[in-house]
Chains A and B, each alone.
Chain A
Amino acid sequence: MTGPILEIRNLTVQLPKGADRKFAVENVSLTVNPGEIVCVVGESGSGKSVSSHAVMGLLPKGQLTVAGGEILLEGENVLKASANRLRDLRGTRMSMIFQEPMTALNPVVTCGEQIDEVLRIHTDLPATERKEKVIAVMESVRLPDPIKMYDAYPHQLSGGQRQRIMIAQALVLDPALLIADEPTTALDVTTQAQILKLVAEMQERRGTGVLFITHDFGVVAEIAHRVVVMQKGHVVETGTATEVLTNPQHPYTKMLINAVPTLTPPQREDRTGEVALETVKLCKVYGGGGFFQKKREVRAAADVEIRVRRGETLGIVGESGSGKSTVARCIARLIEPTSGGIVVGNMDIAKLPERQLRPHRKHCQIVFQDPYRSLNPRRSVGASIIEGPMNFGMSEADAVAKARDLMKLVGLSPDALDRYPHQFSGGQRQRICIARALAMEPEILIADEAVSALDVSVQAQVLDLLDDVRKKFDLAVLFITHDLRVAAQICDRIAVMQNGVVVEHGRTAEVFANPQHAYTRSLFEAAPGRNFQFARVA
């Protein structure tokens, strides 16, 4: 084939009235050639997903309408195609994989049937042949035991396996174009590395053109042939991966690349403050089973021993299921530890009954991962911030005055206290969550994946804020993250967890320079773009 597989020419998509700007994307042009992986990079709101959904004809009806331009799939303008023609093209000539493998598969249909569905829609093959084809494609995406997995339901699979099912489903009819919308964002680093490898391999073997949407420059460095950088609905820069990553031209691209935290932690001096928090052989066992069922026990945390001093940031790093969040939740006593001690100040709070726990709750505050869901949408942010202090006897006037101060401290206007969470951006909401936590005057601040849901540029700002408040209030910070780059930037020491066990801990610089445990090394090896020297431009 000679011509490009996908050509988007001057695509303009209109936003509904009352949005912050008129067009979701404006005059966007890009091309995907056969056998080429084109990465579209940008932060949330850049229009990268809108462009890809427009190709598939999946824009939400009535909200986003194409106002101009053409989208040529192998020369055919899909914007002009009838609904029926579009359905024919989907799954056969173009297909798509999505960000959340947890939710992108139908939970009540077996995995095999979901792949089979594509064949049932688009082919007349008899059942036995379809099944052979499904098993074959499941094998080709390296799913273990495809025959058994055919009958498995999505919830019985791991995130990586589900994403493989999605890929199998997308590729079963050998489409010319694969659109991958942040397909690895929700996955662990090691799984991400495998899926990236798989996408590259499938693309190479089948000659598929891939439009790969991502916000992560590490991923770009890993997989892209060409890069398209988008900002607020416009393409600001295009070029080959090496050109863009090593010699970015546009200021926005430069800013994005600079915001990627490096894997080299800065040297930090040891903190010598008093010990604020210490766990002694902390265990948490999730038990299942009742009278008749077999007892299923999961040791989510086993003999975890960590220590955090005031003024110090301890990172707990690990993949999903490693037990890092369990440890955080035990320490905040949001869940009951099964055994072991949690010493705060000089009191063991592991077994304190709820009533005596109240003072401890004040000392230990959490900032959660998803700022969209951790604020009550029906309460003004002011009400959310003053609730805690007022529970502990502060007068409303004092609490409001304090909330105003805190809003200033986290870089927001005090007058915004009357507004509701949906009126803020993700980064602003996370600042509000931090203000809410600080309103309690805690000694220990737990940040549970607190920056994972944020864009890189915003992430950098929130990390700075966390570091500022740590210094200002002499906080002991427990920083839970799956992201090694982030951990490198903010943590004084890190503890690496795997399957509920701390496999390695030490000063951040030392662990990064010379990881001792095999698991830690595999984490480093999986970090996307680790071998890439990103341009550091002022």
Chain B
Amino acid sequence: MISYILRRLAATVPVLFTVAVMVFLMLRLTPGDPAAIIAGDNATTQQILDIRTKLGLEEPILQQFFIWLGSILRGDLGESFFFRKTVFELISERIEPTLSLAFLTIVLAVVIAIPLGVLAAYRQGTWIDRVVMGFSVIGFSVPVFVIGYLLIYIFAIKLGWFPVQGYQRISGGVFPWFRSLVLPAFTLSVIYIALIARMTRTSVLEVLSEDYIRTARAKGQTEVKVLFQHALKNAAVPIVTVVGIGVALLIGGVVVTESVYSIPGLGRLTVDAVLARDFPVIQAIILAFSFVYVLINLIVDLSYTIFDPRIRY
């Protein structure tokens, strides 16, 4: 098991290296000069050239790459061209809102979707099933911004229960933090509720026709326990996979949501960095995201062993 984890972690190295090469090349090959943006509209060619030299952009590309790679291997993510801070500082400032939002969204999605999916499976073909599945179709098809503005209009503007926009740091108290995240998290979670509920329904339906469900009933077990203790655990593997994919997509998707809700997280940072052609920041964020993807996949694979003892690594 431990050797498996180590091997999987070692396997992230070539993945991250490939990502690093591609990100680096793409940034250098796309138009847009960070020096020109920093220098402003009225700068002379000489000023821009000076800035380029200072940033090291005048070196040959290969040399730039190895300098960057060398500093990353030493644990140094470099310095932002634009914000005049180290990339590490920037990311650590911005990571809390992003993780909070992703975490709350996925918790909300799981807590709502799994009981709904189980219920729909148990009552397959009845009106309950049809209502749940109907909602999940709507959840899939209504765009996030429509749900977002609708929720803001009802719960923030009309009822005033939640703030319209903005983010409260968790250090300022759990309740304000939670309150600031409820609407964005719920908005984001709608599509995942739809996805996870559907997957749960399908997976549980399949398990419900298994012989051991009949055995559990023959023992005199109650229906609730048959569903949640016997069926759900056996149905867990595909559900966990979908949740894992959900987390990965969420982290990639924060770019849009954080802009809509004015949340100062990694997504906003990415947008700002791209607009400013802030190469070190863009590179670091993309590397970090890819590492998280790989890590989530590993966690999902490992969680299989908890749900199904037949799976061993």
- CB–CB B233/A108 < 8 A: yes
Does B219 touch A at the CB level, under 8 Å? yes
- CB–CB B308/A108 < 8 A: yes
Within B219-250, which residues are at the interface with A (CB < 8 Å)? 219-222, 230, 233-234
Does B159 touch A at the CB level, under 8 Å? no
User: Which of A33-41, A87-95, A266-274 participates in binding chain B?
Assistant: A87-95
Does B309 touch A at the CB level, under 8 Å? yes
Interface size of B as a range: 20 to 34
A91 interface neighbour in B210, B212, B220, Cβ under 8 Å: B220
Give every chain A residue within 8 A of B169 (Cβ-Cβ): none
Interface centre among B216, B217, B220, B230 (most CB of A within 10 A): B220
User: Which of A117-125, A202-210, A506-514 participates in binding chain B?
Assistant: A117-125
* Bound CA span A465–B221, Å: 47
Give every chain A residue within 8 A of B218 (Cβ-Cβ): 56, 58, 90-91, 95-96
B214 interface neighbour in A87, A88, A104, Cβ under 8 Å: A104
* A-B pair number, CB within 8 angstroms: 72
Does A169 touch B at the CB level, under 8 Å? yes
- CB–CB B220/A104 < 8 A: no
Give every chain B residue within 8 A of A122 (Cβ-Cβ): 220
* Bound CA span A35–B1, Å: 51
- The digit string for A158-169, where 1 denotes a CB below 8 A from any CB of B, is 000000001001
Does A105 touch B at the CB level, under 8 Å? yes
Closest to A152 in B: B309
A121 interface neighbour in B7, B221, B233, Cβ under 8 Å: B221
B308 interface neighbour in A87, A90, A107, A169, Cβ under 8 Å: A107
Give every chain B residue within 8 A of A91 (Cβ-Cβ): 218-220
- CB–CB A98/B214 < 8 A: yes
* Bound CA span A396–B20, Å: 55
B230 interface neighbour in A103, A106, A121, Cβ under 8 Å: A106
- The digit string for A57-91, where 1 denotes a CB below 8 A from any CB of B, is 01000000000000000000000000000111111
* Bound CA span A106–B308, Å: 10
Q: How far is the CB of A133 from chain B (nearest CB, A)?
A: 15
**Given A58-B214, A98-B215, A100-B211: A89 and B310 within 8 A (CB)?**
no
- CB–CB B220/A92 < 8 A: yes
Does B307 touch A at the CB level, under 8 Å? yes
**Given A87-B222, A91-B220: A292 and B215 within 8 A (CB)?**
no
Within B188-217, which residues are at the interface with A (CB < 8 Å)? 210-212, 214-217
- CB–CB A87/B310 < 8 A: no
- The number of chain A residues with a CB under 8 A from chain B is 29
Within B2-57, which residues are at the interface with A (CB < 8 Å)? 3-4, 7
Q: How far is the CB of A360 from chain B (nearest CB, A)?
A: 36
- CB–CB A107/B310 < 8 A: yes
Does A254 touch B at the CB level, under 8 Å? no
Give every chain A residue within 8 A of B308 (Cβ-Cβ): 107-108
- CB–CB A90/B211 < 8 A: no
- The digit string for A19-49, where 1 denotes a CB below 8 A from any CB of B, is 0000000000000000000000000000000
Closest to B230 in A: A106
- CB–CB A153/B309 < 8 A: yes
Give every chain A residue within 8 A of B307 (Cβ-Cβ): 108
- CB–CB B212/A117 < 8 A: no
Give every chain B residue within 8 A of A103 (Cβ-Cβ): 210-212
Closest to B222 in A: A87
* Bound CA span A292–B7, Å: 10
- CB–CB B215/A104 < 8 A: yes
Q: How far is the CB of B203 from chain A (nearest CB, A)?
A: 13
Give every chain B residue within 8 A of A107 (Cβ-Cβ): 212, 234, 308-310
In the assembled complex, 16 residue pairs joining A and B whose CB atoms fall closer than 8 Å, in A order, are A58-B218, A88-B220, A96-B218, A98-B214, A98-B215, A103-B211, A106-B234, A107-B309, A108-B233, A108-B309, A108-B310, A118-B220, A121-B219, A166-B215, A292-B3, A292-B4
Nearest first, the 5 closest Cβ-Cβ pairs linking A and B are A90-B220, A103-B211, A91-B220, A106-B212, A87-B220
Task: Using A96-B218, A292-B3 as known contacts, list a sample of 5 further A-B pairs with CB atoms less than 8 Å apart, ordered by residue number in A.
Answer: A58-B214, A90-B217, A95-B219, A98-B215, A118-B220
Write the residues of chain B forming the contact surface with A, with a CB cutoff of 8 angstroms.
Answer: 3-4, 7, 210-212, 214-222, 230, 233-234, 307-310
